Amino acid sequence: GLVFMAFALSPKSPAFSRALSFIAFAAAVWAISGTAYLFLTYLTISGGLFSLDNTFFDQFWIFLTAIELGQLVSLNVLAAYLLALVVLLIRNLTSVILAAMLGLASLIPMAFSGHAAGSSSHALAVNALGLHLLGICIWVGGLAALMISYRQDPRADLVKRYSSLALFSIGLVAISGISSAQIRIGTLENYLTTGYGQVTLLKTTMLILLAGFGFIYRTRFIEKLNERAAGFWKLVTLEFLIFGAAMGLGTALARTANPVSDYPSGDLTPAEIL
């Protein structure tokens, strides 16, 4: 959302403060849900049950401070709380850009967790996942900010600017997604016969549908928004539903074992043996 604001909105725009209020709310939701995710991740990994005794909280603190996964997720959650506060103080475009940089930097810990962290193609896997997250966040967050901004300030150039951001994001998501899939799935057979491969194919279908919506934006709606406003809102609503399904599938992938082993095979180098 902040990236969209930096790209499309002026501080003098009537939509500027409304968009900031929405982004502050979104960051607060992210912080709260991230806290729940952090806590549930600990329960899943430890295999323990929640209790109020000191032993439970001592072990949870060790997870947050000494275990890599806990540290990475904690950094992401702390960034969400910090961003929710920072956005409330924003008054100009420079601070929007700095806040956007903070939000995008908070994706780095997530790129280092999940399947990418243990992959034998570690560098490529982490970079691909990081770019995937970057593209998705700009794409989805930008669409949400566009909806809020357009209601307040209905101008076609806002949609046109978002369309350019979305086009960039589609390319980023597609290229990084193909790279990630190839690392973790490998063969065509694995795409068709494994749960991980099948969910990836469903995600690919969602991407194609969303790219089609982007094509409709650029060819049909941008120049005729005043005459076809109702159709625009219907398209945006449908797009959000498909985004939700695609991100749900992405969450499922993060919890599904990938077909290609994370461990290197063949003649191992001394570094791989270590």
pLDDT, tens digit (0-9, with 9 covering 90-100), for 17-65:
899 999 999 999 999 999 999 999 898 888 877 777 788 888 889 999 9
Residue 70 or 190, more confident: 70
Whether 105 and 80 have beta carbons less than 8 Å apart is answered as: no
Whether 104 and 134 have beta carbons less than 8 Å apart is answered as: yes
> How many CB atoms are located within 10 Å of the residue 270 CB?
6
Q: ∠ CA(111), CA(7), CA(150), 5° rounding?
A: 105
Q: What end-to-end distance do the CA atoms of the chain give, in Å?
A: 43
What are the backbone dihedrals phi and psi of residue 109, each rounded to the nearest 5 degrees, phi first? -60, -35
- Which tokens is 194 given? 């494994």
What would the pLDDT profile of 123-167 be if each residue is shown by its tens digit? 777 888 888 889 999 989 998 998 898 888 777 788 888 888 888
> How many CB atoms are located within 10 Å of the residue 148 CB?
19
Q: Which of 74-88, 96-110, 119-133, 169-183 shows the lowest mean pLDDT across its residues?
A: 119-133
List C-alpha distances in Å: 189 to 179, 198, 201: 17, 10, 12
Cα 237 vs. chain centroid, distance in angstroms? 19
State the pLDDT at residue 3.
94
Amino acid at site 109 = P
The C-alpha atoms of residue 67 and residue 63 are separated, in whole angstroms, by 5
State the pLDDT at residue 179.
83
The C-alpha atoms of residue 42 and residue 177 are separated, in whole angstroms, by 28
What are the backbone dihedrals phi and psi of residue 256, each rounded to the nearest 5 degrees, phi first? -115, 135
Cα 90 vs. chain centroid, distance in angstroms? 23
State the pLDDT at residue 112.
80
Taking the whole predicted model, whether its pTM rises above 0.85 is answered as no
The C-alpha atoms of residue 41 and residue 32 are separated, in whole angstroms, by 14
Q: Which of 166-180, 182-196, 224-238 shows the lowest mean pLDDT across its residues?
A: 224-238
- Residues of the chain with pLDDT > 70, as a percent, come to 90
